[in-house]
Amino acid sequence: MKKIISFFTLLLYLFFLGGVITAQTADKEATKETKYLLNNLHKQTAQGIMFGHQDDLAYGVGWKYEHGRSDVKETAGQYPAVYGWELGRLEIDATENLDGVPFNKMKQFIKGAYERGSVITISWHLNNPLTGKSAWDPAQGTVESILPGGSKNELFKSWLDKIAAFFLDLKGKRGEFIPVIFRPFHELNGSWFWWGKNHCTPEQLKQLYRFTETYLRNEKNVHNLLYAFNTDRFVSTEEYLERYPGDEYVDIIGFDIYQKGDILANDKFIAEVDKSLAMLEKMAAERNKIPALTEFGYNTVPDAYWWTNVFYKALEKHAVAYALAWRNTGKKSIDEIEFYVPYKSQVSAADFKKFSLLDKIIFEKKVKKNKLYSK
């Protein structure tokens, strides 16, 4: 069947394949590996979509910290191309992040994935610096308090010092800094986090994003980061760009979206993802940014054919760099379980394997051949 490709997807293909785009990293002093990653992600986006998974190597359904294990590998036959990790609680000197992953283990997982040619993306659900509670404590005035001149600005800078040290400790075998896609203050158009829409003005959020990046770059000499700006689901480009800090501060643009409800919601999910990706691609093409599906998922994946009949149908007309599935927590309580990719014998496992073999979808074997960190 002939595939229909959107105008902006076609435009991206023509640009990338023609080699006319040379992307400038938001950090003009970025390491050469980081610059290579940005340019190669632009080229690779025209070839297919990398599949990613949060906390993939740390744990899965029914297991934790077993060397070499991965729910993705056990169902698809290979590791993902993108690994997501989380820094929440590093700012308060915890040894484990808010999901229980030890930071020392995380560094080893990141180094191993980098050596295999895969991509690293890191989020930060940092505590509320005004109240001392979690990221989900949406106290009014928090953002204002950590901006320059605010009562908690020095505290916030001390937190940035700690994540800077983490990033600067990520080194490859040649001593080079490992590039990371850093996505601070994600889902900022929602209101569940203290940096969310109802708790600060658009200008305050822009200032926070710019201050964070400038401090890491200029004060801490962190030059191995690509910066991702991502919202939650959105309905218009105006909504998406309301809190956008400016092209000079962003390398990657994306959004998070989760399917909820039963399989009767499949068609609605396909339509929403399709429409959102079309808007995202247009914004990315206009700004020479990399589009990505920064988080997605359908908890417990109850539809046996969801990967090929739903998720792939939402993606197939589009050119985005990667899609990151959320984590496989496993059993959270007696009557609650959480996972976003199948494990062995799960109802959608066979379909996930089929999905992983589609030409457009990229897992570890394909991404390794692309040599994303080389010229």
Q: What is the mean pLDDT of residues 178-185?
A: 98
CATH code, residues 7-370 = 3.20.20.80
Q: How many CB atoms lie within 10 A of CB 275?
A: 13
pLDDT at 126: 98
Q: What average pLDDT does the segment 146-169 reach?
A: 98
Evaluate if residue 14 carries a pLDDT over 70: no
Residue % of the chain over a pLDDT of 90: 91
Instruction: Give the mean pLDDT of the chain.
Output: 94
How does pLDDT run across 351-374, given as a tens digit for each residue?
A: 999 999 999 999 999 999 999 999
| DSSP string of 277-308, one letter each residue | HHHHHHHHHHHT-EEEEEEEE-TT---TTHII
42's enclosing H/E stretch is: helix 32-45
pLDDT for the residue numbered 8: 52
CA dist 179 → 63, 101, 213, 372 (Å): 29, 20, 15, 10
pLDDT at residue number 4: 45
* E strand map for the chain: 49-54, 59-60, 63-64, 82-86, 119-124, 180-184, 225-231, 252-258, 290-297, 322-325, 330-333, 336-338, 361-362
- Contact (CB, 8 A) for 48 and 366: yes
Residues above pLDDT 70, as percent of the chain:
94
Average pLDDT of the segment spanning 250-254: 98
Task: Average the pLDDT over 65-91 and give the result.
Answer: 98
pLDDT(17) > 70: no
- Taking the whole predicted model, whether its pTM rises above 0.85 is answered as yes
Known catalytic residues are 187, 295
- What are the CA-CA distances from residue 109 to residues 82, 87, 174, 186, 316 (Å)? 12, 14, 17, 23, 30
At 291-308, the pLDDT tens digits run 999 999 999 999 999 999
Reported as a single tens digit per residue, the pLDDT across 40-63 is 999 999 999 999 999 999 999 999
CB 26 within 8 A of CB 184: no
Return the higher-pLDDT residue of 162 and 261. Answer: 162
- Report d(CA 100, CA 89) in Å as an integer: 10
Contact 99, 54 (CB under 8 A): no
Give 219's DSSP letter: I
Q: Where are the domains of the chain?
A: 7-370
For tokens 């901006």, name the residue: 147
Confidence of residue 15 (pLDDT cuts 50, 70, 90): very low
